Amino acid sequence: MLRDRLVGAWRALLDAAYPRDCVFCGEPAGPEGYVCARCLARLPLARNPACERCGAESPVPGSHGFLCPDCLRHPPAFARAHVVARYAGPVRDLIHLFKYHRGLWLRDDLGDLLAAHYLACVAPLGVAFDAIVPVPMLRAKERRRGYNQALLLAEALAARVGLPCRARYLRRVDTGVVSQTRLRRAERLRNAEAAYRAAHPRHLAGKTILLVDDVITTGATCDACARLLRRAGARAVHVLALARPLME
State which residue, 51 or 234, has the beta carbon closest to Zn ion: 51
| Strands 196-198, 131-134: pairing kind | unpaired
By CB under 5 A, tell whether 80 contacts Zn ion. no
| Pair 221, 213: CB distance under 8 Å | yes
Binding mask 163-202 for Zn ion (x = CB under 5 A): ----------------------------------------
The crossing angle, in degrees rounded to 10, of helices 220-231 and 185-194 is 50
For 77-94, give one letter per residue: b (16+ CB within 10 A) or e. Answer: bbbbbbbbbbbeebbbeb
By CB under 5 A, tell whether 226 contacts Zn ion. no
Residue 120 backbone phi and psi in degrees, to 5: -80, -35
131-134 β-sheet, strand order? 80-86, 236-244, 208-215, 131-134
By CB under 5 A, tell whether 238 contacts Zn ion. no
By CB under 5 A, tell whether 94 contacts Zn ion. no
C-alpha to C-alpha distance for 185 and 179, rounded to whole angstroms: 13
Binding mask 40-59 for Zn ion (x = CB under 5 A): -----------x-xx-x---
By CB under 5 A, tell whether 239 contacts Zn ion. no
Nearest C-alpha neighbor of 226 from the set 245, 248, 246, 207: 207
Q: Which stretch binds Zn ion (CB under 5 A): 14-22, 86-94, 138-146, 150-158?
A: 14-22
Report the amino acid identity of residue 196.
Answer: Y
Residue 94 backbone phi and psi in degrees, to 5: -60, -45
By CB under 5 A, tell whether 241 contacts Zn ion. no
Please count the residues of this chain forming the interface with Zn ion, following the rule CB under 5 A. 11
State which residue, 53 or 99, has the beta carbon closest to Zn ion: 53
By CB under 5 A, tell whether 95 contacts Zn ion. no
Report the amino acid identity of residue 205.
Answer: A
Which of 43, 46, 50, 68: binder of Zn ion (CB under 5 A)?
A: 68
By CB under 5 A, tell whether 24 contacts Zn ion. yes
- The site for Zn ion (CB under 5 A) is made up of 22, 24-25, 36, 39, 51, 53-54, 56, 68, 71
